[in-house]
Amino acid sequence: MTKEVEAPKGKLSANEIFKDKSNFLRGTIEQSFKEPLSGKIPEMDTQLIKFHGSYMQDNRDERLIRQKKKLEPSYQFMVRVRTPGGTATPEQWLMMDEAANTIGNGTLKVTTRQAFQIHGIVKWDVKTFMQKMNSVLLDSLAACGDVNRNVMNGVNPYQSDVHAEIYDYASKISEHLLPRTQAYHEIWLDGEKVAGTPQVEEIEPIYGEHYLPRKFKIGLAVPPSNDVDVYSQDIGLIAIIENGELTGFNIAVGGGMGMTHGEPETYPQLARTIGYVAKENIVDACEKILTIQRDYGNRTNRKNARFKYTIDRVGIEWFKEELNRRLGYDVQPTREAKFEKRGDDYGWVKGTDGNWHFTLFIENGRIKDVDGYPLMTGIREIAKVHTGEFRMTPNQNLMIANVTPHKKRTIQKLIEQYNLTDGKHYSALRRNSIACVSLPTCGLAMAEAERYLPGLITKIDAIIDEAGLHEEEIVIRMSGCPNGCSRAAMAEIGFIGKGPGRYNMYLGASFIGDRLSKMYLENIDEERILAELTTLINRYAKEREEGEHFGDFVVRIGIVEPTTDGTNFHANTPAHV
């Protein structure tokens, strides 16, 4: 070993103290949810319930009104469902739809990590929902919290001959890295064991009693599609397919999108590829990587507790040596893999097994009925007849997957009946857009995102159309705060909320997701956004090289300047303008 390394010493953060006192994530959650007089739960339980897949929120649109009436905030709970690889059966979909419309706010959210979210559940209905999930073999254990979260998996149907095998690895990794505490089953399921979960124990053989210093994310990508944004993950696994067979995975480590405004010691970072591991060893390799973060991550300062900061502190060479030591063998050299795109293939696509897949465009992942577009109802009716599965994509869209030739005509009629869309009538910019939830439910939001980006894109589309670029694919993303849920730092055009109506604007990420953007302008409003994009988009239309993507163009002409390796911009530092 080249050097001695220790975890940072000092006073533990409040969350570490909560975990220490939690009795393996129990806290006083059970008692808090029986308390009849308030929709709120105590701070310790607010943090601990994240490990159970839920966040306490309130409707921020109603805060001022309720404050004037001397009422407590409109407390409610979001529950995020653990769906490795974003896959759900029709039965599971129908349960989620029913729950959303009876105990939620009438909508479903497809997240950027291929999971369901239901918003607007009052405290006294959370247990009811947890038990509804259990009835269709779903759960929310470890969907949030300082543990490994929902494992992402590429949904590219062109790779369907190996897709099932890769999905199996996503599921195996997810199950293997679940917490073993009985708390979830005791509190929500009255001690029932969810089918398919590991045998519970009163110890945590992987996590230990304090779990991880911060959240941990794993994604599996299937080249040529980087739809999972594999370099944004704590562990990014890149499938290596040789002679039509999956042999193993290139491993990239230390990605993460979160940062804090004005604190340059926090920053987005891309994962770095460290080598190749055969497929039969990949679950163990993920465990060993996770335990290095468990042992050496920062438990004194949560802003610097993510895995990316651990690797930057200990050094990538030390990390590789330590990983090889824990594995008992050396990780092999990286094998060749090439990405070409990140977006989804909309509409009908035929898989190699003869089955069909239809990808719906769902703007910002919000599934609801609106006038003239009964999206939620249409998907519900499809679920009633569908015999395959649904796959939620990392771009917040929905694939109706594994449709047999016999069922294809029936589902196509329902698509037409309910006016569901593959997005072809939208611009390529809109089809490549992502926004986080933000206001009114996210307590961290500084500015609008999901509710604002569609209207902003309409105005940018006018500029795009004037420049003759309606079908030019440009990745655009918006986050309401710098925590990075929409992976805006990986967008060719990115916006991160700074305050009401104001955003930091980022440019220069690569189209395929292997280079971060850099801050171009700070704290600007819509008028300035549109003025800047008018100039840039018109220059792009006139000066671009053949096949050149927008992110590459703004780097080439010097609007933003890459670092020496061309990958990790420090997105907290303004670009040269």
Active-site residue list = 80, 149, 215, 217, 436, 442, 481, 485
Contact (Cβ atoms closer than 8 angstroms) between residue 200 and residue 185: yes
The sign of the CA dihedral 388, 433, 364, 137 is positive
Q: What distances in angstroms separate CA 446 from CA 438, 470, 517, one per listed residue?
A: 8, 31, 20
**Amino acid type, 505:** M
One-letter-per-residue 3-state SS of 310-329: HHHHHCHHHHHHHHHHHHCC
Burial of 550 (0-12, 13-18, 19+ CB in 10 A): buried
> Running DSSP on this structure, what letter comes out for residue 481?
S
Residue 291: other Cβ atoms inside 10 A: 17
Q: Which is it for the CA torsion 240, 176, 86, 403, positive or negative?
A: positive
The answer to whether the CB of 219 falls within 8 A of the CB of 250 is: no
Which structure tokens are listed for 15? 């969350």
Ordered alpha helix ranges (H), 103-218: 126-135, 160-176, 183-189
User: Which DSSP letter does residue 191 get?
Assistant: T
511 C-beta neighbours (distance < 10 Å), count: 22
The tokens describing 445, both together, are: 């939001």
HSE-up of residue 533 (Cα within 13 Å, Cβ side): 29
Instruction: Give the ranges where 261-306 is alpha helix by DSSP (H).
Output: 282-296
Q: Quick count: other Cβ atoms within 10 Å of Cβ 283?
A: 17
> Tokens 């993507």, residue?
549
Upstream peptide bond of 482 is cis (omega within 30 degrees of 0): no
The whole-angstrom separation of Cα 293 and Cα 150 is: 18
Query: With contact defined as beta carbons under 8 Å apart, do 90 and 384 qualify?
Result: yes
What's the CA gap between 325 and 249, in Å, rounded?
A: 19
Question: Position of tokens 């073993």?
Answer: 180
Other beta carbons within 10 Å of 413: 11
What tokens were used for 188?
A: 């929500």
